[in-house]
C-alpha cells in the first residue's frame, strides 16, 4: 500500500506541476498578447499627437492654401469658391420668404416670416424623394420638387400671405457640388449621396427648378442659390452681427467665411458695394504634410470611393471617426487576439461602428463601463470583454475624437489668421469674432466639442480667446437660405426706402 500511495503521490505531483506550467505559459501568452495590444494603442496615440506646435503648423498651412485658392482656380486643394453672397442679413429683414433645402434623400420646404431679430415665424415640411427619381431624369426630379413646393404654398395661412402684386421669393440650399455663376445661378458638377441623374450634370439647377415651377404655374423667383455652410453663416449673422465664419461639423465638414472682396485675386467682376464676399472654402479637401495621419487613415482613404480627396474630412468628421476606431480595434483583434482566438465577424465590416456609437462609449461614466459592454454586444456581437479591455476601447475613442477636435480648432485658427482676427489689436480690444457652428458631431458629441474649445483657447491665448466665441447655429441651411432670399430680394431697395 505504501508503494502505491507514494506512486500515486508522484503522479499527482507531476500532473499538478504540468498544469502549473500550462497556466504559467497561458498567462505568459496572454501577457504577450496584451503587451502587443498596448503597443498598437501607444503607437496609434503617438501618431495622432496634436501638440500646440503641430496645430500651429496646420493652421499656417490652412492659411497658405486659402491664399492660393483665392489666387486662382485649381491653385490649391481648397476650392475657395466664390458664393456671390455679398449682402449678409443685417437683422432688419422683413417679409415672407420661402426656402428649399435639398441635400440628400429628403428635402425640406420652409416658409419664414421675418420681423427683425427675435421675431421669426417658421413653418416647414419634410418630403422623401422616391428612389426612382434619384436615378431618373432631371425633369422628373424637379417636377416632383416643384409639385411638393406648390402643395406647401397652398397651405399659406392668412398671416403668411405676401403683399398683393409681389412675387414669392425662394432661397435654394443645394448641397451638391455646383459651379456658381451668380447669386442665383450655378451648374451641377456631379451628384453625390446616392443621386445619379446624368442629364442634370452641367445644367443650371436654378433654371431647372424655375422651368419646373413654370410648368405647373407656380409664380416664385429663386433669389439665392447657396450651400448649407453659407446658409449657416447667414443664419448666424442674422442673430449676431459679429459672426465672421461658419463651420459645419456633422457627417461631413466644411467652412465658409467673410472675405474682403479686394483680397480675392481670381474675382473678375466689379467689386460689390458691400466690399465683402462670402467664400465657401470646401475645407474638407484640405491636405498638408503636417496632418498627423496614421496607417488606419491611409487604409480608410485607399478603400474609399474618393482616394486622395477629402483628407481633412476623413480625420475630423462624423462619417469617419467611428470607422477609424473600428480599424484600430480590428488590428488589435487580428494581431493581438484582443477579443479572443477568433476575430469577431461584425468587426470586419466597414462602417458598422458609427460615430454615435463611439460617442456613447466615450461618454460612458458607469463604474464598470456598462454602456461600452452594451454597444460591443449590440453592434459588434462581442460579449467576452473585461473592464480592462473596455477601458482600452474608451482610450481609442478618446484618441480619435481628441485629434479630430483639435485639428478642427487648428482649421478655425487658419481662417482667423487669414482675416487678421487671431490676435487682439490696439483699439480693438472689445471686437468679438463669432464662429457659427452647425452639425450633429459638434452639437451632440460633448467631449469632442470641449476638446475643440480647449484647443482654441490654447492656440489663441487668454486675451484673444476671450474675444473668440463659438456659437451653435441650428438649422442654418433652412433659415439661412430664406434669409439670403430676403437680403438679395428684388424688392430690397423698395422695402428699405419705405
Nearest CA to 31 among 337, 248, 404?
Answer: 337
In terms of Cβ atoms closer than 10 Å to its own Cβ (0-12, 13-18, 19+), residue 118 is exposed
Tell me which residue has cell 506550467.
Answer: 21
Residue 365 annotated to the active site = no
Q: Which residue has the cell 461631413?
A: 252
Using an 8 Å Cβ cutoff, are 375 and 360 in contact?
Answer: yes
Whether 289 is a known active-site residue: answer: no
Task: Mark whether 46 is an active-site residue.
Answer: no
C-alpha grid cell, residue 458: 490654447
168-174 and 220-226 beta bridge pairing: parallel
Sequence-distant (≥ 6) Cβ neighbours of residue 380 within 8 angstroms: 344, 346, 347, 352, 353
Long-range contacts formed by 102-107: CB under 8 A, 24+ apart? 102/145, 102/172, 102/173, 102/174, 102/175, 102/176, 103/173, 103/174, 103/175, 103/176, 103/193, 103/228, 103/477, 104/175, 104/193, 104/194, 105/129, 105/131, 105/134, 105/193, 105/194, 107/145, 107/148
- Rounded to whole angstroms, how far apart are CA atoms 77 and 411? 14
Chain position carrying cell 451638391? 176
Strands 94-102 and 220-226: unpaired
Active-site hit among 190, 215, 260, 391? 190
Q: How many C-beta atoms lie closer than 10 Å to residue 368's C-beta?
A: 10
Q: Please pick, among 86, 143, 204, 228, the residue that the annotation labels catalytic.
A: 228
Question: Of 175, 239, 288, 433, which residue is the catalytic one?
Answer: 175
CA dihedral 349, 350, 352, 354 (to 10 degrees): 160
Three cell numbers written together for 391: 477601458
Which amino acids are annotated catalytic?
175, 190, 228
Amino acid at each position: 500500500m505504501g508503494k502505491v500511495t507514494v506512486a500515486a503521490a508522484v503522479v499527482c505531483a507531476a500532473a499538478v506541476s504540468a498544469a502549473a506550467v500550462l497556466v504559467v505559459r497561458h498567462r505568459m501568452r496572454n501577457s504577450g498578447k496584451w503587451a502587443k495590444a498596448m503597443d498598437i494603442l501607444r503607437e496609434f496615440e503617438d501618431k495622432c499627437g496634436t501638440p500646440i506646435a503641430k496645430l500651429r503648423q496646420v493652421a499656417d498651412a490652412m492659411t497658405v492654401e486659402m491664399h492660393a485658392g483665392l489666387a486662382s482656380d485649381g491653385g490649391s486643394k481648397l476650392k475657395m469658391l466664390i458664393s456671390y453672397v455679398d449682402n449678409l442679413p443685417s437683422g432688419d429683414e422683413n417679409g415672407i420668404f420661402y426656402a428649399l433645402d435639398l441635400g440628400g434623400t429628403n428635402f425640406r420646404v420652409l416658409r419664414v416670416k421675418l420681423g427683425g431679430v427675435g421675431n421669426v415665424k417658421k413653418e416647414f415640411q419634410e418630403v422623401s424623394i422616391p428612389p426612382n427619381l434619384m436615378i431618373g431624369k432631371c425633369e422628373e426630379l424637379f417636377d416632383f420638387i416643384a409639385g411638393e413646393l406648390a402643395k406647401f404654398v397652398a397651405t399659406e395661412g392668412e398671416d403668411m400671405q405676401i403683399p398683393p402684386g409681389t412675387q414669392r421669393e425662394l432661397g435654394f440650399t443645394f448641397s451638391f457640388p455646383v459651379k456658381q455663376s451668380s447669386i442665383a445661378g450655378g451648374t451641377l458638377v456631379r451628384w453625390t449621396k446616392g443621386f445619379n441623374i446624368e442629364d442634370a450634370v452641367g445644367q443650371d439647377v436654378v433654371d431647372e427648378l424655375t422651368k419646373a415651377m413654370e410648368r405647373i404655374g407656380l409664380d416664385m423667383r429663386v433669389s439665392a442659390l447657396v450651400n448649407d455652410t453659407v446658409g449657416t453663416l447667414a443664419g448666424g449673422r442674422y442673430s449676431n452681427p459679429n459672426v465672421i465664419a461658419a463651420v459645419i461639423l456633422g457627417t461631413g465638414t466644411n467652412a465658409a467665411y467673410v472675405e474682403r472682396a479686394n483680397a480675392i485675386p481670381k474675382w473678375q467682376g466689379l467689386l460689390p458695394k458691400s466690399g465683402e464676399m462670402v467664400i465657401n472654402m470646401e475645407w474638407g479637401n484640405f491636405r498638408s504634410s503636417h496632418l498627423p495621419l496614421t496607417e488606419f487613415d491611409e487604409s480608410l482613404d485607399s478603400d474609399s470611393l474618393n482616394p486622395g480627396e477629402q483628407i481633412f474630412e476623413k480625420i475630423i468628421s462624423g462619417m469617419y471617426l467611428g470607422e477609424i476606431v473600428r480599424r484600430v480595434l480590428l488590428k488589435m483583434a487580428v494581431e493581438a487576439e484582443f477579443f479572443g482566438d477568433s476575430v469577431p465577424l461584425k468587426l470586419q465590416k466597414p462602417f458598422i461602428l458609427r460615430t454615435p456609437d463611439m460617442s456613447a462609449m466615450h461618454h460612458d461614466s458607469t463604474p464598470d463601463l456598462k454602456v461600452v459592454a452594451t454597444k460591443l454586444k449590440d453592434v459588434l456581437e462581442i460579449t467576452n470583454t473585461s473592464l480592462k479591455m473596455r477601458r482600452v476601447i474608451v482610450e481609442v475613442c478618446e484618441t480619435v475624437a481628441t485629434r479630430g477636435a483639435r485639428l478642427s480648432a487648428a482649421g478655425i485658427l487658419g481662417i482667423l489668421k487669414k482675416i487678421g482676427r487671431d490676435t487682439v489689436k490696439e483699439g480693438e480690444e472689445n471686437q468679438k469674432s463669432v464662429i457659427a457652428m452647425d452639425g450633429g458631431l459638434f452639437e451632440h458629441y460633448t467631449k469632442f466639442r470641449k476638446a475643440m474649445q480647449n484647443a482654441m483657447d490654447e492656440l489663441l491665448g487668454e486675451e484673444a480667446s476671450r474675444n473668440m466665441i463659438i456659437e451653435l447655429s441650428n438649422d442654418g441651411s433652412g433659415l439661412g437660405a430664406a434669409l439670403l432670399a430676403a437680403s438679395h430680394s428684388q424688392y430690397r431697395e423698395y422695402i428699405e426706402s419705405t
